Amino acid sequence: MSTEETNAKVYDYKIIRTTREMEVLTSDSYANLGYNLISSKIPDSSMFYVELSFKRNREIGKNIEMTKIERKLDASLNQIKILERKRKNAGMIPGLSVGTIGLIIMVVGILLCFLVDPTNIGWIIGGAIIAVVGLAVGLSGFLVHHVIQRNTQDGINQKIESETDKLAEACEAGAKIVASQAK
C-alpha cells in the first residue's frame, strides 16, 4: 500500500460586519494581509451594514507578526469608523435641543392664540408673535448643528488622517509578509 501526499490547502475564514461606507476600505485592507474576498452581502435586517466574507491560506496566518499586524489593522478600522460617526453627529444634540425649545415656544404661542381668549385680538396677535419667535428659534437649531459640525470637522479630519496613516503602515507591513511567504 502506498501513501500519496496531497497538496491540499487549508484556509482561514473570516466574516466581518462593517458599515457600507467602510466596505471598500475594509476589503482592500484585508487583501493586503492575504485575505481574498469571497462574498459581500447585506444582512436581512440592515440597510447600513454589510457582511464581508474572506478566506486566506492558513500558512500565511501562522506568523505571529501577521497576527499583531491584523490586530493593528482592526483597531485602526474601528477607530476610523468611530471618528466618521463623530464627524456626522457633531452638534446633533445641541441642534435638536434648540429645535425642541423653539417647538415648545411655538406651541405656547399657538395655544395663546386659540385657547386663552379667541375673541380678543390682543391675545391672537401676541400668540402669533410668540409662535413666530418659536419658529425662528426652532430653525436656528439647524444652524447650531451646522456651525458646531463645521468647527469640529477639522480636528476630526486630522484624527482620521492619522488613523489612515497607521492603517496604511499596517497594510504595507502585512503585504511584505504575504509577498515573502508567497515566494
In a domain, 177, yes or no: no
- pLDDT above 90 (res 88): no
> Does a structural domain hold residue 173?
no
Res 2 pLDDT > 60: no
Q: What is the pLDDT of residue 3?
A: 43
Residue 131 lies in a domain: yes
With a cut of 90, say whether residue 180 has pLDDT above it.
no
- The 8-class DSSP code of residue 16 comes to E
Report if residue 72 sits inside a domain.
no
Quick one: what percent of the chain has pLDDT higher than 70? 93
173 residue type, one letter = A
Number of domains in the chain: 1
Q: Which domain holds residue 139?
A: 92-152
Q: Please report the beta strands in 26-162, taking only residues with DSSP state E, as ranges in sequence order.
A: 36-41, 49-57
pLDDT digits (tens, 9 = 90+) for 126-169: 889 999 999 999 999 999 999 999 899 889 999 999 999 999 99
**Residue 75 maps to a domain:** no
Q: Is residue 5 part of a domain?
A: no
User: Is 23 contained in some domain?
Assistant: no
Q: What is the pLDDT of residue 181?
A: 77
Within a domain: 70 = no
Phi/psi for 143 (5° steps) reads -65, -40
For residue range 93-136, what is the model confidence (pLDDT) as tens digits? 999 999 999 999 999 998 888 888 778 888 888 889 999 999 99
Decide if 76 contacts 167 (C-beta within 8 A): yes
Q: What does the pLDDT read at residue 162?
A: 95
Q: Which of 20, 11, 91 is nearest to 57 (CA)?
A: 11
Which residues, other chains included, contact 82 with Cβ-Cβ below 8 Å and sequence gap of 6+? Answer: none
